[in-house]
Structure 1
Amino acid sequence: MLQPILAYGHPLLREKGKPVSLDKEELDTFIDQMWQTMRRANGCGLAASQVGKNLCLFIVDSRSTYQQMENAARQALYENGDTGIEEVFINAEMISRSGDVWVEEEGCLSIPSLSQPVARPWSIEIRYLDKELVQRQKVFSGNTARMIQHEYDHTQGILYIDHLNPVARKLLMSRLKKIRAGKVQAGYPMCFFR
């Protein structure tokens, strides 16, 4: 079942996610709904808070992005041998971030029709439970690491626009107000907070 995506301005997007404590069947159903919702919206990641659940849970699909890229872009944005992931991250904990930072455009399903250049570390190490509730601790880099950081931020109540300098944020305010007021078409079901 598709879920509406919460739009910028909804207070749940600014809350820190709570640890996941759903039973396995309920969790599997919710995760499946998240994948369906994300794919319907043509996204590459989605956090539980974006579909109305204040949980420390997100999904990332960097594999589809990889498959749609030209070889030159793949070489620039993915480490050698990395073809992307389709992964569930439950109760994730960021262990470390590299000092090597790069800037790339980011958008967000909760902030439709906007994208901005955001500086993020090239690689990260993260500990999490996967869909089978098996604990993992992995290092990710490039575009995959960027997507994970973006979605992890959602579990901390942080949006990508928070990483912009104050001048850039100020220039976006009129567009953000339109999103908050529900005056932007997204092409997928959204829930606006008024």
Structure 2
Amino acid sequence: MIYPIVAYGNPILKKEAEEINEGEDIQKLIEDMYATMDHASGVGLAAPQINKGVRLFVIDSTLMLDEDDEEKGIRRVFINPIILDEYGDNYGFEEGCLSIPDVRAEIIRPEKLTLEYFDENWNLKEEEFSGMTARVIQHEYDHLEGILFVDYLKGLKKRMVKSKLIEISKGKVSTDYRMIYPLK
């Protein structure tokens, strides 16, 4: 099943997501999230973006990399993730979001992180990620914390996107995927 994506302004995007009970059968939700992410041509999708307030996201960072990049991307699900540490040099990269179409901004993030999470078989993992994969994880993890990439914007940059965000929440935006608009 392909879910509609929740647009900017929906309260679920600003709430901290709840942990999933260990061992719970969420295979169908995971499959649906991959299908929804792929349909929307995304590189990541967090459960709150499909109106599910649980700590789960899927990513496909292979789409962010070129063939000659040293880094190899991953396609993976993360259940009840916890960022244990973020480190390395901070660097900027222009981010976007399926819930905030047509808005992009340079966001500064650390280049590496250590993450604890469960995989789709409820195996507990602790792993280090870097580069684009770390960035996609950080962006999706923020969704579980009720943080959007535009929340990092300050001053003039924030004022410049404010009217666009209001338009998105009213449904005055065009996408190739279905969306739920809070003010439409």
TM range (shorter): over 0.9
> In 2, Cα distance between the equivalents of 1:98 and 1:179?
34
Aligned residue pairs total: 183
Same amino acid, percent of matched pairs: 39
**Whole-Å separation in 1 of the counterparts to 2:152 and 2:67:** 28
Give TM-score, length-normalised by structure 1.
0.91
Aligned match of 2:30: 31
Separation of aligned partners in 1, 2:29 and 2:169: 26
1:159 aligns with 2:140: no
**Aligned residue identity for 1:9:** G
Compute the displacement of 1:164 (Å).
1.5
Structure 1: gaps of 5 or more residues: 75-79
Mapped to 2, the partners of 1:29 and 1:160 lie a distance apart of: 28
Shift of 1:22: 7.5
Q: 1:119 — aligned with what? A: 108
Distance 1:60 1:188 in 2: 18
Once residues 110 and 93 of structure 2 are traced to their aligned partners in structure 1, the CA distance between those partners, rounded to angstroms, is 11
Q: Secondary structure at the match of 2:146?
A: coil
Corresponding residue for residue 87 of structure 2: 98
Q: Which has the larger displacement, 161-170 or 27-36? A: 161-170
Tell me if structure 1 keeps the 8 A contact 2:61–2:73.
Answer: yes
1:147 maps to amino acid: V
Q: Is the 8 A contact 2:22 2:122 kept in 1?
A: no
Aligned partners of 1:10, 1:192: CA distance in 2, in Å? 7
Aligned equivalents of 2:155 and 2:127: distance in 1? 33
Amino acid in structure 2 at the alignment position of 1:48: A
Between the aligned partners of 1:92 and 1:179, the Cα distance in structure 2 is 29
Deviation at 1:127, TM superposition (A): 0.4
Extract unaligned runs of 5+ from structure 2.
none
Shift of 1:181: 0.7
Match of 1:88 in 2: 77
- Residue 176 (structure 1) shift: 0.6
Q: CA deviation at 1:24?
A: 4.3
1:36 partner SS: helix
Q: Partner residue of 1:58?
A: 57
Q: CA deviation at 1:65?
A: 2.5
What amino acid is aligned across from residue 155 of structure 1 in structure 2? Answer: L
2:107 is matched by which residue type in structure 1?
A: V
Within 2, Cα distance between the matches of 1:70 and 1:137? Answer: 27
Q: 1:141-174: CA deviations, max 9, x gaps?
A: 0000000000000000000011122321111011
